[in-house]
Structure 1
Amino acid sequence: MNLNQVQRCVLYARLSVTKEESVSIARQLESGRKYAEARGWEVVGEFVDDGVSAMANRPEDRKGWAALLAADDFDAVVIWKVDRLARRVLDFLHADESLQARRAGLVAVEDPIDMTSPQGRAFAVMLAVFGEMEAEGIRARVRAARAHLIKDGRFVGGGIPYGYRSTQNLDGPGRILTKDAERIRWLGEAVRLAQQGGTVNAIAIWLTDQGAPLPVRRKPRIDPENTAWNRQTVEQLLRNPVLAGMTPHNPGRAKSDKRADPFAVVRDEHGAPVIDESLAIITFEEFVQLQRTLDTRDSPQARKRTERQTTSPFLSRVALCDDCDVFLYRGTNQKQPVLYCPKCRQTLGRVRLDLYLTGRLLAERGTESCAGSTVRERWKLAGDDEMARRAVLMSQLDILRVRRGVVGRYFDADRLVLQWRPTTVPAG
């Protein structure tokens, strides 16, 4: 890219957490506009990733950056600083490579980078190295501070376990966990039912029927009037080591590993779990037995087979979890059909997913050859036969993977990685 030949540009801004010292998205974009105006460039698009960590998300996995790469007719991407694009050197180089492939370049307002010369590219890489070092330094300081708070028995922040609350530490600085008088009895009853052989679903139904208060959420619920418990929430309660007075602590766990190890807890110098008796509602031995019981039930329904709801086999062993690389199972959640990962437990609703896949299959592959006919004709012949429809889908499908995303009532197509088989070309 020659900066003198740039005529059209797009702006990109990213921010992980809004803090007083942070450069806001609005300020980053405004700086980019002034930079472009000073050079006589036309801004043809603005793309944002707000609340997105550069350490936990590669540029190609971000919605804003992916939308930028899908845009047309721009010669340069203007960012505020190199670390707004990437905090890792490899991520920066891959992002720059994607721009080079479309003959576009990268420009930073605050960093004097010039990607048109070997010296300029080397300097840009150095800036990316310093950005990565800074990010690692921040992470190290956060880990050290967290370890210090945990050692002192103080609450380190984050989600407060159900049945407990955060209160001022009367014996020193900071805050500590204490039992919540209103909810601890519901937690104790849920544990008792599980110890007596109650399934996770049965406990969720019981809590709903009894009107047990739901866990407090930092974000408002999509449907405030929905007071139903779900099995995922109940299982999280039953697997929390705080039940035995232990403090969860696994700083090495990957972010994608949603299902935490219940025995990854703070331990003393001899390797024994540190237990706060004032928080425990069961003994350590009872907690171990409870986890064994839960582990023997690998089905999310965990009901008698005669009581289970039947689900459509249309996507049976079709979709893969993008994090765990295993097939998603079919099941139900609050009586709605879902796909779920048996490892990380991410879920995706089936109703909108099935309609979305069907629509794309017929629209994009309807005229393709399929079993001596066309996809659209074979689909019509399949009628309500789910296995026949599945066969039509599989004849065209190459890849279907599901990424982790926000779980809710709204279908997010960006969670899907969908790729059809190569189009067949008639011979001759």
Structure 2
Amino acid sequence: MNVNQVRRCALYARLSVTKEESVSITRQLRSCRKYAEARGWEVVGEFIDDGVSATASRPEDRKGWTALLSTDGFDAVIIWKVDRLARRVLDFLHADETLQQRGAGLVAVEDPIDMTSPQGRAFAVMLAVFGEMEAEAIRARVRAARAQLLKDGRWVGGGVAYGYRSAANPDGPGRVLVKDAERIRWLTEAVRMALRGGAVNAIAKWLTDAGAPLPGGAKRKAGNVTWNRQTVDQLLRNPILAGMTTHNPGRGKGGKRVDPFAVVRDENGNPVVDESLAVITADEFAQLQHILDSRDSPQARKRSDRKTTSPFLSRVALCDACDVYMCRGTNQQRPIIYCPRCKQTASRTTLDPYLVQRLLSERGGEPLSAATVQYCWEAASADELARREVLLSQLESLRIRRGVVGRYFDEDRVLLRWRAKQLPTGTCQTATADLPL
């Protein structure tokens, strides 16, 4: 790309935290517009990813960047700085390669990069390296600060476990956790029921029938208190029950389940216990985890209690956080897919129709087995395995990332990529016995 010949360009801006005024989306776009205006370039579109971390997401997985790549008619993409596009070197190089393949180049307002020469490309890679180093330095500072707070017995922020609340630290700055007088009795009884052999579903029903207050932000149905199995299971796995604190209170990275035994320990390797927060002993907590784990697998249920679900998405969708296939199952008698590691779920009631709509609208006219995707789909009729084969013939990847618990269907959770070039795969037969399930 010769920057002196560019006439049409697209603008891209990204921000992790919207309160960062120094690099706000508005400021980034304003600087990019001025850059384009000074060179007489025509702006054909502006694309943003607000509240999106460059460390936690690749450019191709972001809604704004994906929309930019689906637009035609530009010769360059203007960004404010290299780290607005990526904070990992490989992510930056992959994004730049994607632009080069379509004959476009990358321009940064604050970073004087020229991607047309080997020297310029080397300088751009160096900037990406420094961006990655800066991101790692930030993570190191955050980890160090968190470790010191935990060592001092202070609350590090985030969600507060059910049965507890944060209060001013009586011995110094910051805040600490204390028992919540209104909810701790419900938590204590739920734990005792579980230790006596009570099923998680039974405990959830008891909490619902007794009108126990829900955790903050939990969903209510028709004005009534409704507990579910997942909520109760999370409460019973929190090491705070024994007065212990995890290294990273709350959910793990990408929503992965926190290891209940990965807790803060002293110099001798023993868990640090705050007796004022405990409702059971450490031994009882270990016993409780053993009870829960022995019932955790759906296969542990009686066959008569299992509900058959559609194989349409069997071994098709990957959990974006764990990189493992999501399994089919049910939640409160509704079909879902779930990650066997981090336990995130996605409702099949809304996910399946969404995928079908996109398949037929975006790929329906693609050739498949001397016909089209649309024809093969309709020929499959109600054969879920045959329809699964049609979907797989068009898919490059399907990943599901964790969303906010209790929200309705969020299409941003679905990371869907079609195959770049359709190749003949299979036939439009309804018999698909050879498919891997």
> What TM-score do the two structures reach when normalised by structure 1?
0.88
The answer to whether the Cα contact below 8 Å between 2:255 and 2:402 also exists between their aligned partners in 1 is no
Matching residue of 2:105: 105
Counterpart of 1:151 in structure 2 is: 151
Given that residues 155 and 177 in structure 2 are in contact (C-alpha distance below 8 angstroms), is that contact kept between their aligned partners in structure 1? yes
| Cα contact 1:301–1:331 (8 A) shared by 2 | no
**Alpha-carbon separation, structure 1, partners of 2:424 and 2:413:** 23
CA RMSD of aligned residues (A): 3.0
Kept in 1: contact 2:264–2:272 (CA 8 A): yes
For 1:222 and 1:57, locate their aligned partners in 2 and report how far apart those are by CA, in whole Å.
Answer: 32
Change (3 A) 1:339 1:170: same
Residues in 2 aligned to 1:411 and 1:250: alpha-carbon distance in whole angstroms: 27
Deviations 1:121-162 (A, max 9, x none): 222222222222222222111111111111110111111111
Q: 2: distance between equivalents of 1:304 and 1:110?
A: 63
Question: Could you tell me whether the CA contact under 8 Å between 2:338 and 2:344 is conserved in 1?
Answer: yes
Residue 22 (structure 1) shift: 3.6
1:313-354 alpha-carbon deviations (Å, 9 max, x no partner): 443444333443433222223443211111111111011222
Conserved 8 A contact 1:87-1:132: yes
> Shift of residue 312 of structure 1?
3.6
Correspondence 1:178-197 to 2 at 5 A = 178-197=178-197
Match of 2:126 in 1: 126
Partner-residue secondary structure (3-state), 2:4:
helix
Write the distance in 2 (CA, Å) between the matches of 1:36 and 1:389: 51
Q: Structure 2 vs 1, CA of residues 361 and 118 (structure 1 numbering), >3 Å: closer, same or farther?
A: closer
What do the CA deviations read for 1:64-98 (whole angstroms, capped 9, x no partner)? 11221222111111111111111122221121111
Give the aligned residue type for 1:423.
Answer: P
CA distance in 1, matches of 2:315, 2:115: 46
CA distance in 1, matches of 2:17, 2:221: 26
Give how far 1:271 is off: 0.6
385, 393, 400: which one pairs with 2:388? 393
Q: Which amino acid letter does the alignment assign opposite residue 394 of structure 1?
A: E
Distance in 2, matches of 1:222 and 1:206, equals 16
Query: How far off its partner does 1:357 sit?
Result: 3.6
Shift of 1:13: 0.8
Which aligned pairs between 1:247-396 and structure 2 lie closer than 5 A? 247-249=245-247, 255-256=253-254, 258-299=256-297, 306-307=304-305, 309-360=307-358, 364=363, 368-369=368-369, 375-376=376-377, 378-380=379-381, 382=382, 388-394=383-389
Q: Which among 226, 235, 238 is matched to residue 228 of structure 1?
A: 226
Name the counterpart of 2:169: 169
1:405 equivalent among 398, 402, 407: 402
Unaligned runs of 5+ in 2: 428-437
- What is the Cα deviation at residue 12 of structure 1? 0.9
Q: Is the 8 A contact 2:369 2:424 kept in 1?
A: no
The structural deviation recorded for 1:28 is: 1.0
**Distance of 1:375 and 1:402 partners within structure 2:** 24
Deviation at 1:362, TM superposition (A): 5.4
Which residue is equivalent to 2:10?
Answer: 10
Runs of 5+ in structure 1 lacking a partner? Answer: 383-387
1:268, CA displacement in angstroms? 0.4
AA aligned opposite 1:417: L
Once residues 276 and 78 of structure 1 are traced to their aligned partners in structure 2, the CA distance between those partners, rounded to angstroms, is 53
How many Å separate the matches in 1 of 2:191 and 2:370? 53
Q: Give the aligned partner of residue 92 of structure 1.
A: 92
AA at the equivalent of 1:350: R
State the match for 1:66 in structure 2.
Answer: 66
Moved more, 162-171 or 347-356: 347-356
Deviation at 1:20, TM superposition (A): 5.0
Alpha-carbon contact 1:18-1:24 (below 8 Å) kept: yes
Matched, 1:417 2:413: no
Distance 1:362 1:140 in 2: 47
Structure 1 residues 178 and 301, CA gap change in structure 2 (3 angstroms): farther
Going from structure 1 to structure 2, the CA distance change for 1:103 and 1:199 (only over 3 Å counts) comes to: same
Tell me what 1:385 maps to.
Answer: none
Matched AA of 1:159:
G
Separation in structure 1 between the aligned mates of residue 423 and residue 150 of structure 2, nearest angstrom: 54
Task: State the shift of 1:114 in Å.
Answer: 1.4
Amino acid at match of 1:28: Q
Measured after TM superposition, the shift of residue 206 of structure 1 is 2.2
Query: CA offset at residue 171 of structure 1?
Result: 0.8
Cα deviation, residue 11, structure 1: 1.0
Quick one: distance in 2 between partners of 1:318 and 1:73?
34
SS in 2 for 1:397: helix
- How many residue pairs align between the two structures? 416
Q: Take 2:38 and 2:412, find their aligned partners in 1: how far apart are those partners?
A: 39
Change (3 A) 1:8 1:223: farther
SS for the counterpart of 1:4 is: coil
Change (3 A) 1:288 1:208: same
Counterpart residue identity of residue 375, structure 1: C
Contact 1:12 1:77 in 2 (8 A): yes
Does structure 2 conserve the Cα–Cα contact (< 8 Å) formed by 1:78 and 1:107?
yes
Q: 1:283, CA displacement in angstroms?
A: 0.5
1:88 and 1:131 in contact (8 A); partners too: yes
Instruction: Tell me the amino acid that sits aligned with residue 106 of structure 2.
Output: L
Say if 1:357 and 1:143 are closer, same or farther in 2 by CA, change over 3 A.
Answer: closer
Indicate the SS of the match to 2:23.
coil
Segment drifting more, 55-64 vs 223-232: 223-232
Structure 1: distance between partners of 2:345 and 2:387: 24
Cα-to-partner distance string for 1:155-201 (whole Å, 9 max, x where unaligned): 11111111111100011111100011111111112212211222222
SS in structure 1 at match of 2:254? coil
